[in-house]
Amino acid sequence: MSKHLSSLLLIYTGGTIGMKQDPTRKALVPFDFSQILEEVPEIGKFAFRTDSYTFDPLIDSSDVDPTLWQALARLIGERYDDYDGFIILHGTDTMAYSASALSFMLDGLAKPVIFTGSQLPVGVPRTDGKENLISAVEIASARDSEDHALVPEVCILFDSKLIRGNRSTKVNAEMFDAFRSPNLAPLAEAGIQIRYNNDLIIKPSDWDKPLRVNPSLDTRVSILKVHPGITRQTVEDILYGGSTRAVIIETYGAGNAPTAPWFLDCVREADRAGKVLVNVTQCLRGTVNMDLYATGKSLAEAGVISGYDSTTESALAKLFHLLGTYHDNDTVKTLMGRNLKGEISK
Ligand code: ASP
Residue 151 belongs to domain with CATH number: 3.40.50.1170
- 3 exposed, middle or buried (CB, 10 Å; 0-12, 13-18, 19+)? exposed
Residue 268 domain flag: yes
Report the pLDDT averaged over residues 208-227.
Answer: 97
> Do 100 and 238 belong to one domain?
no
- The minimum-distance atom of ligand 1 relative to the CA of 17 is 7
End-to-end CA distance of the chain: 31
Mutational pocket test of ligand 1: of 20, 65, 93, the residue with most ligand atoms within 8 Å of the beta carbon: 93
Separation of CA 212 and ligand 1 centre (Å)? 29
Residue ending a domain, choose from 213, 231, 253:
213
Same domain, 262 and 279: yes
| Nearest protein CA to atom 8 of ligand 1, as residue | 92
Higher pLDDT, 222 or 37: 222
| Predicted confidence (pLDDT) per residue in 105-156, tens digit | 999 999 999 999 999 988 788 999 999 999 999 999 999 999 999 999 999 9
**Is 84 within a domain?**
yes
| Residue 343 confidence class, pLDDT cut points 50, 70, 90 | very high
Give the domain CATH number at 259: 3.40.50.40
Nearest alpha carbon to residue 284 among 163, 182, 173, 180: 182
- Which of the residue ranges 144-158, 171-185, 282-296 would you say has the lowest mean pLDDT? 282-296
Residue 216 reports pLDDT greater than 80 = yes
Which SS3 state, helix, strand or coil, does residue 135 take? helix
3-class SS at 164? Answer: strand
pLDDT greater than 70 at residue 177? yes
Residues 246, 192, single domain; the answer is no
Looking at the fold, whether 209 and 225 belong to one and the same domain comes out as: no
Nearest CA, atom 1, ligand 1: 60
DSSP state of 183: T
Statement to judge: residues 264 and 193 lie in one domain = no
**Catalytic: 311?**
no
Residue 203 has pLDDT above 70, yes or no: yes
Confidence of residue 340 (pLDDT cuts 50, 70, 90): very high
Q: Indicate if 107 and 68 belong to the same structural domain.
A: yes
- Looking at the structure, tell me whether residues 152 and 288 fall in a common domain: no
What is the tally of structural domains in the chain? 2
Average pLDDT, the chain: 93
Q: What is the pLDDT of residue 20?
A: 76
Q: What is the mean pLDDT of residues 287-291?
A: 92
Name the least confident of 2-6, 230-234, 312-316. 2-6
With respect to residue 150, please indicate whether it lies within any of the assigned structural domains: yes
Return all residues near 73 (Cβ < 8 A) that are at least 6 apart.
Answer: 102, 105, 106, 213, 214, 215
Average pLDDT over residues 283-294: 92
* 317 within some domain: yes
Whole-model pTM?
0.95
What is the residue type of 144?
Answer: D
Is 311 part of a structural domain of the chain? Answer: yes
Do 312 and 202 belong to one domain? Answer: no
In a domain, 53, yes or no: yes
Residue 130 in domain: yes
Q: Which domain holds residue 39?
A: 6-213
pLDDT (0 to 100) of residue 124: 83
Is 317 found in the same domain as 272? yes
Residue 342 located in a structural domain: no
CA separation for the pair 296, 291 (Å, rounded) = 6
For residue range 45-92, list pLDDT tens digits in order. 877 788 999 999 999 999 999 999 999 999 999 999 999 999 999 999
Tell me which of 16, 92, 169, 312 is the catalytic residue.
Answer: 16
Alpha helices in 129-250 (DSSP H): 129-141, 232-240
- Does residue 32 surpass a pLDDT of 80? no
In this predicted structure, the answer to whether residue 292 has a pLDDT above a threshold of 90 is no
Question: Do 36 and 159 lie in a common domain?
Answer: yes
Pick from 12, 60, 175, 177 the residue to mutate for probing ligand 1's pocket: most ligand atoms within 8 Å of its CB.
60
Residues in the chain: 346
Give the distance, in angstroms, between the CA of residue 154 and the centroid of all CA atoms in the same chain. 8
Do 200 and 230 lie in a common domain? no
Which of 159, 185, 213 finishes a domain?
Answer: 213
Mean pLDDT calculated for residue range 223-243: 95
Residue 61 CB less than 6 A away from ligand 1: yes
| Strand 106-107 relative to strand 47-54, pairing | unpaired
pLDDT at 46: 79
**Confidence bin at 4 (pLDDT 50/70/90):** low
Last residue of a domain, one of 163, 196, 213: 213
- Measured from the CA of 178, which atom of ligand 1 is nearest? 8
Co-location of 274 and 251 in the same domain: yes
